[in-house]
Chain A
Amino acid sequence: NAGVMQNPRHLVRRRGQEARLRCSPMKGHSHVYWYRQLPEEGLKFMVYLQKENIIDESGMPKERFSAEFPKEGPSILRIQQVVRGDSAAYFCASSPAEPTSGRDPYEQYFGPGTRLTVT
């Protein structure tokens, strides 16, 4: 049972280019979360999506950033016109639609992250 998959694992972009980060949730999970980790900091929530719906985008910068989770395919975090300050690790997590009987009913499972470097 594959875990959360993210690609690419490393992405280098020049200032002004676009960055597209992809996340495939665990099988059976329909909720996706994106987090950003700046160097030497903890993870900060960006956006929470369900299939075809943005549920909470309170952590997303107002400009240049967008996220989607289409009916088919992975979730995409898109950063337009990247700047050096966008350099960070971006983590995706997924959870099932309903509470589970696992260790935490709403546990999020994390992908390996995408490291974005803007030159």
Chain B
Amino acid sequence: AQKITQTQPGMFVQEKEAVTLDCTYDTSDQSYGLFWYKQPSSGEMIFLIYQGSYDEQNATEGRYSLNFQKARKSANLVISASQLGDSAMYFCAMRLNNNDMRFGAGTRLTVKP
């Protein structure tokens, strides 16, 4: 089965600390892409970070980094130095072939002051 799993419905983190949001995936495809999106209360999907299946280095975008462990089929998002504005839903997604995109159920992150 081709699916993506986020096992943390909700997470709390203290402001300025780092937090890891978990994501595991299952696919038999050799070529795929992994994405993380942020969805604030306003509802839009904001792209955060991307990791290609053939990329050997973990992706980083500012305070976001993706801990890609291909053998374990995991693609955890690490947010460093959390800010209050980071409070939102976070979705992991996997692009399989050229048009098949699967999303996890999401993790609601709350940053506490």
> A residues near B, CB below 8 A?
31, 33, 35, 40-45, 48, 55-56, 89, 91, 93, 95, 99, 103-108, 110, 112-113, 115
Contacts and interface: CB of A to CB of B under 8 A. Distances in A.
25 contacts: A31-B99, A33-B99, A33-B101, A35-B103, A42-B105, A43-B91, A43-B101, A45-B101, A48-B99, A55-B99, A89-B43, A91-B45, A95-B99, A104-B33, A104-B35, A104-B95, A105-B98, A106-B95, A106-B98, A106-B99, A107-B50, A108-B95, A110-B37, A113-B43, A113-B44
Contact of B43 (A40, A41, A107, A115): A115
A115 B52 CA distance: 31
Chain B interface residue number, banded: 20 to 34
B33 A107 contact: yes
